[in-house]
Amino acid sequence: MLGIVAHPDDLEFCAGGSIAKWIDEGATVYYLILTNGNRGGHEQATPEEIKATRQAEQREAARILGVSDVFFADYDDCCLETNEAVKKDAVRAIRHLRPDTVLTIDPTMMYCAEQGYINHPDHRAAGQAALDAVFPLARDRLSFPELIANEKLLPHEVTTLLLFNLNSANFNVDITESMARKLASLEAHKSQFTPDSTMARKIQRLAKENGTKCGARLAESFVRITVA
Ligand SMILES: [Zn+2]
């Protein structure tokens, strides 16, 4: 599985419990983080310092979950656009890593009124790039042919797309056993997350709400698309 998102911490927030569970079950998981997160610091630090901190935190969070590798595309935080360069980075990762499943944040989710959540514009841009890369760009030989000619990255068909969307879901993952690791991976993002924060309480509440919908104590929920 390949997670394609905008920021260090997005995958732990959306899917950390599922990722830990899937890896326990034998999955190989990679991350592509499109921005460097360099505006995501609350304390006095330069963008370069924030970038280094956040990439180190992301690697530690991924290590806690058992993720095989993390790739960073290094676009500036809060400026991500769904342009050709970003799509090409997503296609490169898909053709290189050849995942059966890609996970991202649903770019059609602008907000969730129920949760008081506005979806960050970087999340939407990353989600759009991931969708476009899955279909049709990574699949098609004539899309980014230079990746084939210069980097020997052959076309690849992703079969399953998982989208994090607070407004709708058709696929639930019981994370009762892996919630502790999800929280530990979030706590690795020390510059962003504290265990007693409002965010931590929201994550617990959301996992319980998702669990209620599917008969589990705690769950993460996604839109799952089988790409035909
Ligand atoms: Zn984010």
Tell me how far the alpha carbon of residue 8 lies from the centroid of ligand 1, in angstroms. Answer: 7
Tell me how far the alpha carbon of residue 81 lies from the centroid of ligand 1, in angstroms. Answer: 14
Q: Are 133 and 94 in contact (CB under 8 A)?
A: yes
What's this model's pTM, rounded to 2 decimal places? 0.97
Q: Each residue of 140-175: pLDDT tens digit?
A: 999 999 999 999 999 999 999 999 999 999 999 999
The SS3 of residue 15 is helix
Tell me how far the alpha carbon of residue 154 lies from the centroid of ligand 1, in angstroms. Answer: 30
Q: Each residue of 84-103: pLDDT tens digit?
A: 999 999 999 999 999 999 99
Tell me how far the alpha carbon of residue 21 lies from the centroid of ligand 1, in angstroms. Answer: 22
Tell me how far the alpha carbon of residue 188 lies from the centroid of ligand 1, in angstroms. Answer: 15
Tell me how far the alpha carbon of residue 28 lies from the centroid of ligand 1, in angstroms. Answer: 23
CA distance 98 to 59: 21
